[in-house]
Amino acid sequence: MSWTNFHTHTTFCDGHAEPVVFVEAALEQQLSVLGFSSHAPVCFPNRWTMNPARVRDYHREIMRLKELYSGRIELYCGLEMDYFPDILGDCQSLYAGVPWDYKIGAVHFIGAFPDGSRWCMDGSGEAFREGLHTLMDGDFLSAVKQYFALHRSMVQEMPVDVVAHFDKIKLQYRPGDKGGAETDAEYRRELLLTLDAFEASGCVVEVSTRGIAKGNLDDFYPGSWVIPEMARRGIPVTLNSDAHRPWDLTLGFDRAAQALYASGYREISVLRAGGWQMVPFGPDGLML
C-alpha cells in the first residue's frame, strides 16, 4: 500500500521547502508517486505564483530529481494553472514550450477591480471582503455563482488533467452574508451544475485535504456531501493535499479515502508510468 500526491508547492512558488526535501519526506510517508505543481506564472504582479524567470529552472530541477530518485519514487513535473477568461493567452505564454507532465486547473481570481488589479478568492478575508463589496455589492451568492461559472468555462476552454479545490470559496462565507452558504439550496444547485460540466469534460477532480492539513476546515474540498454526487456521475477523482510543507503530504488521506470508499469509489486516478491510470485503494492507501 502507498499514497500518491500531485498537488504540492515548493520554494519555486509559495511552498516552504525545496523540492528535494519534499522527495525525502514523500519517501518517509510511503508515497510511491509525487507530483510537483507550482503555481504557474501570471501576467500581472502577484506574490504567490512562480516568477516567470524561474520556469525553466523549476522544470530542470524536477527532471534532475526524477533521474536521481529513479527506482525509489516516481516524480512528475506539473503546474497549477489559473484560469482567466480575459488574459489567459498572456498568462499561458509565460509557461508555454515546456513539456509539463500534467496540468492542474484552478480558479483563484474571480474578478478584476476598476484599476485592473485582480480580486483573489484565496487570500486574506479582508482582501476577499474588499472585492465582495466593491464588485458584488456585498452579495456572497453572486460571488459563488461567478466562481462556479468560471469553473464550468475553465474545463471547456482550458483543458486540464485535474481540477483543484473547486469549492474553496466556501471558506470565505461569513455568518450574516445573504445567501451563498454551503447548505443553501442555491449554492448546491450551482455546485451540482458544475459537476455536470466536469462529467461532460472527462477531467479528474481532486479531493483535497488542504483544509484538514492547514487546520482551518474540518472537511475536504469538495465537501463530504459532494463526494457521493461525484460518484453517482462517475467523475474520476485523485487524492491530494495541496501541500505547502513536506509534512503535509498525506495529512487526512486516511479519512478522505474512507469517505471515497463509503461513497462507492473503488479506484483513484493516478499518473503513473507516464499516463493516468485507475488504481484500487482502501483506507490505508492505494494498491501500488
Which residues form the interface with Zn ion (CB under 5 A)? Answer: 80, 106, 164, 242
The burial of 217, by beta-carbon neighbours within 10 Å (0-12 exposed, 13-18 middle, 19 or more buried), is given as: middle
User: Least separation, in Å, of the C-beta of 70 and Zn ion?
Assistant: 26
The residue among 185 and 216 lying less far from Zn ion, judged by its C-beta, is 216
Residue written as grid cell 493516468 = 276
User: Least separation, in Å, of the C-beta of 209 and Zn ion?
Assistant: 12
User: Least separation, in Å, of the C-beta of 170 and Zn ion?
Assistant: 14
The residue among 182 and 242 lying less far from Zn ion, judged by its C-beta, is 242
Element (H, E) at 105: strand 102-106
User: Least separation, in Å, of the C-beta of 11 and Zn ion?
Assistant: 14
The answer to whether residues 127 and 164 touch, using CB atoms and an 8 Å cutoff, is: no
The residue among 66 and 108 lying less far from Zn ion, judged by its C-beta, is 108
Distance CA 124, CA 122 (A): 7
The residue among 3 and 166 lying less far from Zn ion, judged by its C-beta, is 166
Distance CA 117, CA 54 (A): 23
User: Least separation, in Å, of the C-beta of 215 and Zn ion?
Assistant: 17
The residue among 242 and 248 lying less far from Zn ion, judged by its C-beta, is 242
The answer to whether residues 18 and 116 touch, using CB atoms and an 8 Å cutoff, is: no
| SS3 category, 38 | strand
Supply angle C-alpha 84, 88, 90, rounded to 5.
135
